Amino acid sequence: MSSEDIITVQGLSKCYQIYDSPKDRLLQMFYRSRKKLYRDFWALNDVSFTLKKGETVGIIGRNGSGKSTLLQMICGTLNPTDGQVKVGGKIAALLELGAGFNPEFTGHENVFMAASLYGLTNEQIRDRYESILAFAEIGEHIDQPVKTYSSGMYVRLAFAVIAHVDADILVVDEALAVGDAVFTQKCMRFIRKFKENGTLLFVSHDTSSVINLCDKAIWLHQGKMITSGKAKDIAEKYLQYTLQEVYGAEAKLESLKAAPMSEEAQQAAAENHNEASALESAINYNTQYGIEDNLSEANGWKTGGGEINSVTFADIKTGNTRHIYKGGEAVKLTVEATVHQDFDAPIIGFLVKDRLGQVLFGENTLPFTTVNPVPVMAGDKIKAEYKFTLPMLPNGEYAMMVSLANGDINNHVQHHLLHDALIINVSSSEVRWGLVGIKFDEVKMEIK
């Protein structure tokens, strides 16, 4: 374990003995190894990885994949059957509800007990007690037994404690899913602040949260580590897998890999860049959008039932499909596709996401096709158009996901999905705050 490594997991496995009846468990004590009355269940099987100081890692996978088992062994609350875990710092963990608190104790008593288990002295706990109460916001319930708490109150108090124990490693296992929106936002602010100096292990079924919070991700399935890597890449692979599980034999999703950029595409990109430079020198835009066609390099999946052919932007006022926009213009997005099999209810949609995977805005054709069905035959070409006002986005890079599906809002199959069909680069000197900004006509301050 190097000085930069804070968690090292080597060949970690956990096996449980599953008995068909309590009687077999009793008889096994007499048979010992002469006869086996149980079957082995490997909750975790030969998992290895290393986390460096300051890394933020998300763990994703279906229920029963071994996520909680892995975290419990890292935290030391569960012994492995095989392998080892080395931890080079203090861990604070928010695992399943009920872990760490005595239900018969009051909230006040549990604060002192839990904080002392993390190594704080009574004096340190007393110094931080009011801050813990302010963070938890459970009021007079602090003097009631925690067995009377709702799940949300329990999480509030548990998170308030781990936020005040000076941990090097923070482990959060889905517990925030039961909190209300205001408290969840408070926890997220603390987690983002903690990330500046600490190491975070985060388990969630919400891939957007994983992309938002984590640099890397680990995908577990049936106790084994399928893969690991950049959070965005792993989340996209996991999304494809979960959709394939939903579709079953109805549709087979084939992964798409980005094709290498041709010389013509490289030349076009260079011309677009030159056009942007020329416009910038000619017109002093305070906000500038650079929209690039990335269709040939976008990754995603397809079933073979249909494919997206083009995605284009145009200025409604001029009709030009230019690449540079200020924001605030009336624009038209056009998505063209070809279907290779009969679709009774085709859907074309798009989402614009920031670099953390957060969805900023999007739409699909369901509002139109629900009222005006458009069934198509194999070989038909279809076109979707969206007219809207281009929002004012803060500085950064954004990506547009585009998809072709068939079905309705509750039951559909995505036959072609491209994660980064368009790349939108925004350079702004005015719009700075929030996920989506607005253009202010005037900002002033005066002495009244």
How high is the pLDDT of residue 59? 93
How high is the pLDDT of residue 275? 46
> Per-residue pLDDT tens for 409-446?
888 899 999 988 888 888 766 555 677 766 666 666 67
How high is the pLDDT of residue 95? 77
Alpha-carbon distance of 444 to 127, in angstroms, equals 43
What CATH architecture does domain 258-428 belong to? Distorted Sandwich (2.70)
Q: What tokens appear for 172 in the block?
A: 């959060």
How high is the pLDDT of residue 278? 41
Alpha-carbon distance of 440 to 447, in angstroms, equals 21
List the chain residues with pLDDT less than 70: 1-3, 96-99, 175-182, 256-287, 322-323, 356, 428-433, 437-445
How high is the pLDDT of residue 285? 39
How high is the pLDDT of residue 371? 85
* C-alpha distance from residue 61 to each of 9, 74, 237 (Å): 18, 17, 11
> Per-residue pLDDT tens for 70-115?
998 998 889 999 999 999 889 988 876 556 788 899 999 999 999 9
How high is the pLDDT of residue 24? 83
How high is the pLDDT of residue 284? 38
The residue type found at 336 is E
Q: Which residue spans of the chain are classified as CATH 2.70.50.60?
A: 258-428
Q: Which residue spans of the chain are classified as CATH 3.40.50.300?
A: 5-248
Alpha-carbon distance of 314 to 330, in angstroms, equals 9
Domain boundaries 5-248, corresponding CATH code: 3.40.50.300
pTM of the model: 0.72
CB neighbours of 12 closer than 8 A, spacing ≥ 6? 44, 46, 47, 48, 70, 73, 80, 82, 83, 84, 85
How high is the pLDDT of residue 280? 40
